[in-house]
Amino acid sequence: MELRLYNTLTRQKELLTPIHPGEVRMYHCGPTVYQRPHIGNYRAFLFADLLRRVLELAGYQVLQVMNLTDVGHLVDDAEEGDDKLEAQARRDQLDPWQIVERVSAAFFADMEALAVKPAHVYPRATDHIVEMVAMVERLLEQGHAYRVGDNVYFDVHSFPNYGKLSGNRIEELEAGARLEINSEKKHPADFALWKSDAKHLMKWDTVFGPDGFPGWHIECSAMARKYLGDHFDIHTGGEDNVFPHHECEIAQSESVLEGPFVNLWMHTKFLQVDGGKMGKSLGNAYTLDDLSKRGFSPLDYRFLMMRGSYRNPLNFTWQALQGATEARRNLNDFRSRLAAEAGVTLVDLDSLHVDSAVNRTRLAFQAALSDDLNTSEALAALFVLRNSFIHGKLAAAEYSAALALLAEADDVFGFLDPVIAGGLTDAAIEQLLVARTEARAAKDFARADAIREELSAAHITLEDTADGLKWYRG
């Protein structure tokens, strides 16, 4: 399965060719942990999860990193203004570190409720000050950065490619720059790598002075490099991250590395609400709790996100969520009815007859996902299969295969209700059965027996039939 993905940098879909064959390394800009993320933020994180799952479906080994921004993200993304964490701490009269703990816990609970596969690493900015300082020092040595007192700025004129991601030109940025309160920068478009403020609560004593804290952009450059290496495959974020955040990351990292940083930049378009902007002050920056108060589960929201392409803005309405809820229920019902009629049989989807209905659905499903993660078409293919089942047009001999295909599709979408027996999901049972078959083939009968016992303890019954191995719950 080859994947074509849209690259914000080259403004076209490209065939994914990982730097290390068979392996994809990617970094996602994660939440700024000053307030529980709203459902718009989760659109960006669900996209990251979808991308990971599609890469895994395509057979890649994935190394996935999502950071937590717990310092340095200023209120208006500009160079002045409050740090979001510090401002929140003042509002709540709390220590910023307590806020970090509380919001991070809420974030992880939400991600679990949304059935997001945990990333391999969730680095926190404040745990990587040493790496950031080292990068800033290097930029100073190279002449890409300059100090003004205890502050350090990146000189955008030192990086000829500045603007290549966003399409912004330095001259235009400078012409349009508002009159800066901070005149210590050499050029208005320069950005902070390190700042100092004695009043800051989260601050570090470093070579740049006693009261410093990092700029937001250097955080991601340093964390990505630490966990993914100098040059890696994919970096994602919401569309607002293109500029200044990712543009500045490129400038810093490519300067330090004197070479390439990221091959593919992917950005999720915003979730809007009732056709407009989502905002705290507008009272429509909903959280998962707001959804559950109206009777919707996180998986309903997850389904809604898979209905549209990540490259189009998506308009959130309660009606659209209701529609997604019903469609999700229909797919759940489809699965239950197939299971009731077919029993659950192990089917090797790779050996289906090319012309069978399930195989055709599978090809359409995979082709849609391969084309820049076209989830709405992939989903449509599943509904075509369901319709033929409902109308009695799906041959009974294909029920087991259809069920296996739904399991494969749900490995990507993750929005069906988890089916749990004795603590084992369908997918876990299938994996154990594959492991058992492999153990038997390798004549490792002790292992094969141990797996059988584990399944039996979970009340899963195995039966060797003429049609292959079948399993039942209970």
3-state secondary structure of 420: strand
- Given the complex with ligand AMP, which of 316 and 399 has the nearer CB atom? 316
* 170/190 Cα distance (integer angstroms): 9
User: Cβ 284 to ligand AMP, closest distance in Å?
Assistant: 10
- Given the complex with Zn ion, which of 67 and 359 has the nearer CB atom? 67
Q: Closest residue to ligand AMP, Cβ-based?
A: 238
Q: Does 237 bind ligand AMP (CB under 6 A)?
A: yes
DSSP3 helix / strand / coil % (the chain, rounded to 5): 50, 20, 35
Q: Does 220 bind Zn ion (CB under 5 A)?
A: yes
Contact partner at residue 220 from ligand AMP, Zn ion, none, CB < 5 to 8 Å by partner kind: Zn ion
Site string for ligand AMP, 43-72 (x = CB under 6 A): xx------------------------x---
* 20/45 Cα distance (integer angstroms): 25
- Given the complex with Zn ion, which of 216 and 310 has the nearer CB atom? 216
Q: Which stretch binds Zn ion (CB under 5 A): 175-183, 217-225, 425-433, 443-451?
A: 217-225
The residues in 353-412 that bind Zn ion, with binding defined as CB under 5 A, are: none
Contact predicate 264/233, CB 8 Å: yes
- Spatial neighbors of 31 by CB under 8 A, at least 6 apart, are 37, 41, 45, 68, 69, 103, 107
* 474/472 Cα distance (integer angstroms): 6
Q: Does 290 bind ligand AMP (CB under 6 A)?
A: no
* 29/172 Cα distance (integer angstroms): 27
Contact partner at residue 238 from ligand AMP, Zn ion, none, CB < 5 to 8 Å by partner kind: ligand AMP
Q: Which stretch binds Zn ion (CB under 5 A): 140-148, 216-224, 373-381, 424-432?
A: 216-224
Q: Does 273 bind Zn ion (CB under 5 A)?
A: no
Q: Which stretch binds ligand AMP (CB under 6 A): 159-167, 232-240, 351-359, 392-400?
A: 232-240
Q: Does 41 bind ligand AMP (CB under 6 A)?
A: yes
Contact partner at residue 35 from Zn ion, ligand AMP, none, CB < 5 to 8 Å by partner kind: none
User: Cβ 278 to ligand AMP, closest distance in Å?
Assistant: 5
- Given the complex with ligand AMP, which of 247 and 410 has the nearer CB atom? 247
User: Cβ 427 to ligand AMP, closest distance in Å?
Assistant: 28
- Given the complex with Zn ion, which of 265 and 413 has the nearer CB atom? 265
CB-based burial label for 240 (10 Å; 0-12, 13-18, 19+) = middle
CB-based burial label for 92 (10 Å; 0-12, 13-18, 19+) = middle
Pairing between strand 424-425 and 460-465? unpaired
β partners of residue 6 = 13
Contact partner at residue 369 from ligand AMP, Zn ion, none, CB < 5 to 8 Å by partner kind: none
What would the two tokens of residue 76 be?
């208006």
Q: Does 251 bind Zn ion (CB under 5 A)?
A: no
Task: Give the Cβ contact number of residue 256 at 10 Å.
Answer: 24
User: Cβ 413 to Zn ion, closest distance in Å?
Assistant: 26
How many residues at the interface with ligand AMP, by CB under 6 A? 16
Q: Does 278 bind ligand AMP (CB under 6 A)?
A: yes
345: enclosing H helix or E strand: strand 344-345
Task: Name the amino acid, one letter, at 470.
Answer: K
User: Cβ 29 to Zn ion, closest distance in Å?
Assistant: 3
What would the two tokens of residue 40 be?
């718009």
Q: Which of 3, 29, 74, 165 binds ligand AMP (CB under 6 A)?
A: 29
Task: Give the Cβ contact number of residue 215 at 10 Å.
Answer: 24
Maximum C-alpha span of the chain: 80
User: Cβ 20 to Zn ion, closest distance in Å?
Assistant: 23
* 404/358 Cα distance (integer angstroms): 9
Q: Which of 8, 221, 241, 263 binds ligand AMP (CB under 6 A)?
A: 241
Q: Does 270 bind ligand AMP (CB under 6 A)?
A: yes
424: enclosing H helix or E strand: strand 424-425
DSSP type of residue 142: H
Q: Does 370 bind ligand AMP (CB under 6 A)?
A: no
Q: Which stretch binds Zn ion (CB under 5 A): 21-29, 98-106, 150-158, 317-325?
A: 21-29
The radius of gyration computed from the CA coordinates of the chain, to the nearest angstrom, equals: 25
Contact predicate 135/221, CB 8 Å: yes
Contact predicate 111/118, CB 8 Å: yes
User: Cβ 300 to Zn ion, closest distance in Å?
Assistant: 29
* 84/92 Cα distance (integer angstroms): 12
User: Cβ 124 to Zn ion, closest distance in Å?
Assistant: 13
Sites of contact with ligand AMP (CB under 6 A): 29, 31-32, 40-41, 43-44, 69, 237-238, 240-241, 268, 270-271, 278
